[in-house]
């Protein structure tokens, strides 16, 4: 009996180590291929005449430098719930700069907003001297529930804006009114606008926010579990981002 238990423990340890090696191999390949596509964006936002400076993630999706970021990062109005009693906010982007991996700061502008998907498309104000390294959203895959995946993120200025790659799983799938994937806590904490990848390097989508209009209070949300939360991080599938990008004026 003891021998069987020892063999079972050895087999479990072997499987765990093999899975960890698979994650490491997949993660390093994704970093090597796509690390320059995830950037930071410096922002100066004026909210009700109060000016604030911050940084947020963005993912470059086109050689022109076109990138996607979370709309809620540049417009707090998208976070406002109906029935919450919160007065409207007046927001204005005073300055927007894309920080490239080599440290260069490129003035940028917002070219399209999609509040339903929490999407903001930004683009360099001037043509780049050379094509940008970009994430090919056409190389995408549709995950199933509990599918493990990797997130390619980038830390902030305090950590030297270095690459950060958490491992996550699909914890739920929203079907209507559109398909969205719910990551676990690692995915929720990885940063909005970070791309999610399968272990074979295919793109699942981009992590953004789902903001539902609701009159329920925070207490009801807390005790109702994840299904009742009005604001949750989700993975917007790559095909949805491709279709939305077609609306950008030429």
Q: Is residue 84 part of a domain?
A: no
Q: Is residue 162 part of a domain?
A: yes
Q: Is residue 156 part of a domain?
A: yes
Per-residue model confidence as pLDDT tens for the chain (250 residues): 555 444 444 434 444 445 567 889 999 999 999 999 999 999 999 988 889 999 999 999 999 999 999 999 998 777 664 444 445 678 889 999 999 988 899 999 999 999 999 999 999 999 999 999 999 999 999 999 999 999 999 998 889 899 999 999 999 999 988 999 999 988 878 889 999 999 999 999 999 998 776 555 444 554 455 555 678 899 999 999 999 999 998 7
pLDDT (tens digit, 9 = 90+) per residue, 77-98? 776 644 444 456 788 899 999 9
Q: Hey, CA dihedral for 228, 234, 239, 240, is it positive or negative?
A: positive
Q: Is residue 174 part of a domain?
A: yes
pLDDT (tens digit, 9 = 90+) per residue, 29-50? 999 999 999 999 999 999 888 8
Helices and strands counted in the chain (H then E) = 5, 14
Tell me the DSSP string of 201-213: S-EEEEEEEEE--
- CATH code, domain carrying 181: 2.40.10.10
Q: How many domains does the chain have?
A: 1
Q: Is residue 121 part of a domain?
A: no
Q: Is residue 189 part of a domain?
A: yes
The predicted structure's pLDDT at residue 10: 42
Q: Is residue 41 part of a domain?
A: no
Q: Is residue 127 part of a domain?
A: no
Average model confidence (pLDDT) across the chain: 85
Query: Which range of residues forms the domain containing residue 172?
Result: 136-238
């Amino acid at each position: 009996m003891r021998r069987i238990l020892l063999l079972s423990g050895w087999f479990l340890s072997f499987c765990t180590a093999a899975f960890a090696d698979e994650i490491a191999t997949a993660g390093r390949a994704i970093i090597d291929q796509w690390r320059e596509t995830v950037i930071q964006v410096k922002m100066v936002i004026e909210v009700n005449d109060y000016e604030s400076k911050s940084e947020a993630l963005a993912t470059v999706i086109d050689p022109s430098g076109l990138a996607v970021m979370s709309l809620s990062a540049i417009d707090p109005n998208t976070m406002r719930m109906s029935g919450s009693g919160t007065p409207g906010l007046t927001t204005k982007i005073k300055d927007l700069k894309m920080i490239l991996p080599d440290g260069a700061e490129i003035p940028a502008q917002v070219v399209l907003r999609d509040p339903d998907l929490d999407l903001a498309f930004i683009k360099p104000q001037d043509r780049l001297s050379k094509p940008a390294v970009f994430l090919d959203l056409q190389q995408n895959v549709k995950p199933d529930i509990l599918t493990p995946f990797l997130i390619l993120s980038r830390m902030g200025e305090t950590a030297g804006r270095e690459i950060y790659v958490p491992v996550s799983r699909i914890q739920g799938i929203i079907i209507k009114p559109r398909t969205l994937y719910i990551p676990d806590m690692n995915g929720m904490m990885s940063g909005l606008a970070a791309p999610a990848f399968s272990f074979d390097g295919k793109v699942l989508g981009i992590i953004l926010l789902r903001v539902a209009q609701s009159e329920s209070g925070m207490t009801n949300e807390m005790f109702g579990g994840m299904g009742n939360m009005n604001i949750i991080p989700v993975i917007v599938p790559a095909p949805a981002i491709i279709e939305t990008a077609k609306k950008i004026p030429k």
